[in-house]
Structure 1
Amino acid sequence: MIENYLETLNQRFRDFDIEYRKQAYIYYLKYPDPSYKESPDKKTYVNITEKDLERMAYGELSVSIKKDEKIDSNYDLVVTDSDFIISGKKKEVYISNMKTAFEEKKDLFKKYVDQQLGKYNREYLINFSYENGYFIHFPDNTTTDVKIESIQDSNASFAFKNVIIVGKNASVEITDVYKKHNKGNGVHGRNIYIFCEEGSHVKYNYVQDEGEDTVNLTYVRPVLYRDSEIRIIDVNAGANKVFYNHESEMYDNTTMKSYGVNVSRGDQEMDIWDSSVQYGKYSNCDINIKGVVLDRSSTMHRGNIDIEPEGVKSSGFYGSAILLMSENGKGNSKPALLIKNNDTKSKHSSSISSLDPEQIFYLRSRGLSEAEATDMIINGFTGYIEDITDNEFLKATIKDILKL
């Protein structure tokens, strides 16, 4: 633990939202993460060490990336180590950084941001130690999309906190892309909070392809207020160690659909966690995640369908599938149903399978090489994402990052 960090805090540049940070730090000390003793094979859990967490919390951003040139026309916001570059095309949307928004949008901070301290030990640590992050507010009844590119140095270690607030009856799509720059073994921690107000319709696309030696620790926290819905697409391909935790907090008559793909290569370790916590009645959750394991890599899929006592007339589904493409790869899946009333529908499924030699033989008999046949099977396995979205920019970005 980092018991002396409050003293360090007062000596550095954590110069806003101090009371919130202090409370998050207390929670960090008070509530450690469980040790997952139930697992017979701890090798499939990603081991993010205390040293990694110290580097993340103490680390300062590098300033080696300076994008003074015009913003990439494909993006409305580019986040670098030294700047937040805003295109200015989306006049109806407030786009800024957390430091500036804390001064300009105090009412939104008080209503949304400061009410969410987190749920998990390392999430608390990020909320305590974050240096900055983006802040986006879509007003009521807005219909638009925003594309974000974060390109931060692989050598840097840091904690960031990103906030998206979607107003009542708004309909928006956010594409949030995280790319590599340079080589290095930095530790990148991020909390991403998405507040979906009443009647809003949100599409959130998370695409991660950070440096091959980095550690990526990400918590995605949608909060769905009455009559809202969110569709999440998450793709993880980069970093050496990946811990991705998405958990949606759902209230009355809300819908969450989540579709994920992760591809691990080399010695990569991935722990992908998708869950719902359904407090509201008539809430509906549908989670689907697929993983491909290559070389000596490992993938863990975890997820809970958690329907609370008040969540009557609700439903929840969790489905995981992992395709092992190597004898040396590891896959594991641990879904769970946490149902606390007797008036719901819920189920989970998981499968871990290897490449079928008969499929390869058949495709080769049709004139394909072994490599082409393998690629076709993998693309067929992961390609369901293309059926979920009509966003051509997103499709092209995913195809480029997965490199399948």
Structure 2
Amino acid sequence: MATEVNEYVINADEVISRAESRGESELLISKKKEALEQIESLDMPKPDKTKLNKWDFFTVSQPVTDSATYGSLEELPEAVKSLLDIEHTKNIYVQHNNTPAYLQVSDELLDQGVVIENIIEASANHPELVEKYFMTEGVKIDEHKLAAYHTAMLNGGLFVYVPKNVQIEDPVQMVVLHDDEKTSLFNHVLIVADEGSELTYVENYLSNVDRSNEQFNIISEVIAKDNAKVNYGAVDFLSEGFTGYVNRRGVVGRDATLDWALGLMNDSNVINDNTTYLMGDNSVSNLKTVVVGRGEQTLNFTTQIIHYGKDSSGHILKHGVMKDSASSIFNGVGHIKHGATRSDAQQESRVLMLSEKARGDANPILLIDEDDVTAGHAASVGRVDPIQLFYLMSRGISQKEAERLVIHGFLDPVVRALPIESVKNQLREVIELKVLSK
């Protein structure tokens, strides 16, 4: 029987003792204490049309797992190396379960003051920077119970800081390899792009086990300050059996851009929150998401772009494919606040269902508190277009191959948006595995 969400027990003394034994910084320990003091009084998040009372977010077998580290790229597991464009990606961080396993940063970036470190070390080495941005503008510790629990249990992640006017040409890539079925992931990614800077960041979450009855509670915060530009790409492919909560949050300043390209391929039940705050005038965010559900997955995706700045632009594109008995909720919200004049909020959500028992629910929502704006939405839920299949089959293509081509075409706008070729290939392979295999 699944655990009720209010039946969990958290031993605060044990959490702090474990943090101290790992040598975590005073800053991080203080944040964990703050979370522990509040967690009992906080409510769970309330995703639309999904009841969480039977979801177990709190049972953790091993809060921290010691795993292998690597001295060179050549020593990395093949599953990791296949995701790296080694010729062009010079800035790489690998996390093996909860262990910082490998880090490579170019001397040029270090000379320019760029910081790329696992977040636990960064909180000790750069406490003023981390404290300024860690759960202050994007996600708040007291936002709800899962945010506080994430803070208390934090056991991995990455901190990236790009100083003013520094433009990083080569992508920064993080790969998290999960291969211990008793390991939970409480990763926190904090990216700060200072004024006038540019960064492309890509992350991969990959399981090498078939099933894990643990938790992943992942939070990413991206701060794009005035005139900054951040491209954020991700492919999540964690195994069946997890209970998952993923929150990716962006804060965008004046004349800044934050673009998301997300391949959400986890095989477990997941609540996913992706919210971008367009705080500055002329701020921009384009979000592209592709989702594939199979088996008996329950998936809930809330995507929001909230406009505060004048002349801000936010576009959401979400495509999903559901097969077997998988079910999904796609909520897209474009919210133009009072004062955000001449802003543009657009969104498109489309779901393909490949079996009779699959379920998809696409809910576009526009909240407009200002008169002089542009806004629009489109949504559809249905099956593969028989006219498209007929057209392809009339040219000698088999029905199975025709379905394959239609599905890849349907998902390709997001795949093409990923900035690293090896990651694009990974996502295409995952789509083949999840959608086209029996």
Q: When the two structures are superposed, what TM-score results if normalisation uses the length of structure 2? A: 0.83
Q: Deviations over 1:263-297 (max 9, x none)?
A: 11222222222111222222211011000111221
Query: Which of 53, 57, 60 is the equivalent residue of 1:53?
Result: 57
Contact 2:263–2:415 (8 Å) recurs in 1: no
- 1:9 aligned to 11, 15, 31, which one? 15
Match of 1:106 in 2: 127
Distance 1:346 1:362, change over 3 A: closer
For 1:151, which of 174, 177, 190 is the aligned residue?
Answer: 177
- Matched residue SS, 1:55: coil
Asked whether the 8 Å contact 1:154–1:184 carries over to 2, the reply is no
**Aligned mates of 2:209, 2:191 — CA distance in 1:** 28
1:283 paired with 2:312, answer yes
User: What aligned pairs does 1:170-185 form with structure 2 within 5 A after superposition?
Assistant: 170-185=197-212
Question: CA shift at 1:234, angstroms?
Answer: 0.5
Q: Which amino acid aligns with 1:19?
A: S
Amino acid aligned to 2:412: G
CA gap of 1:245–1:354, structure 2 versus 1, over 3 A, is: same
One-letter amino acid of the structure 1 residue matched with residue 400 of structure 2: A
- For structure 1, which segment, 253-262 or 268-277, has the greater mean C-alpha deviation from structure 2 after superposition? 268-277
Equivalent in the alignment of 1:301: 330
Within the alignment, does 1:233 sit opposite 2:239 as a pair? no
Q: Which residue of 2 aligns with 1:322?
A: 351
After superposition, where does 1:214-225 map in structure 2 within 5 Å? 214-225=242-253
Unaligned runs of 5+ in 1: 40-44
Structure-2 residue corresponding to 1:42: none
Q: Which amino acid aligns with 2:364?
A: P
1:23-67 deviations in Å (ceiling 9; x for gaps): 44455444424556x74xxxxx374745x22125x7413335554
What amino acid is the match of 1:53?
F
Seen in structure 2, the aligned counterparts of structure 1 residues 48 and 302 have a Cα distance that, compared at 3 Å, is farther
Is 2:222 the partner of 1:211?
Answer: no
Q: Deviations over 1:138-167 (max 9, x none)?
A: 222222221211112351123121111112
Provide the residue aligned with 2:3 in structure 1. none
Please tell me the residue identity of whatever aligns with 1:287.
I
Determine if the alignment matches structure 1 residue 313 to structure 2 residue 313. Answer: no
* Alpha-carbon distance between aligned partners in 1 of 2:152 and 2:71, rounded to the nearest angstrom: 30
1:4-403 correspondence runs (5 A): 4-13=10-19, 15-16=24-25, 17-25=28-36, 28-33=39-44, 35=46, 39=49, 45=50, 47=52, 49=54, 52-56=56-60, 59-67=62-70, 70=73, 71=76, 72=81, 74=86, 76-81=92-97, 82-89=99-106, 91-92=108-109, 93-116=114-137, 117-118=140-141, 119-144=143-168, 145-155=171-181, 156-185=183-212, 186-252=214-280, 253-388=282-417, 391-403=420-432
Distance in 2 between residues matched to 1:134 and 1:121, nearest whole Å: 22
Conserved? CA contact 1:154–1:210, under 8 Å: no
Measured in 1, the distance between the counterparts of 2:123 and 2:237 equals: 29
For the 8 Å contact 1:183–1:211, the answer to whether it is kept is yes
Runs of at least 5 residues in structure 2 that lack an aligned partner in the other structure: 1-5
Which range moves more in the overlay, 155-164 or 287-296? Answer: 155-164
Q: Distance in 1 between matches of 2:57 and 2:416?
A: 38
CA contact (8 A) 1:127 1:191 kept: no
- How far off is 1:246 after superposition? 0.7
Alpha-carbon distance in 1 for matches of 2:359, 2:180:
26
Identity of aligned residues (%): 20
1:220-279 superposed Cα distances (whole Å, 9 cap, x missing partner): 011112221011001111222122211012212210000111111222222222111222
Task: Provide closer, same or farther for how the CA distance between residues 230 and 329 of structure 1 changes in structure 2, counting only shifts above 3 A.
Answer: same
SS at match of 1:143: coil
**Aligned partners of 2:45 and 2:144 also within 8 Å:** no
Aligned residues: 396
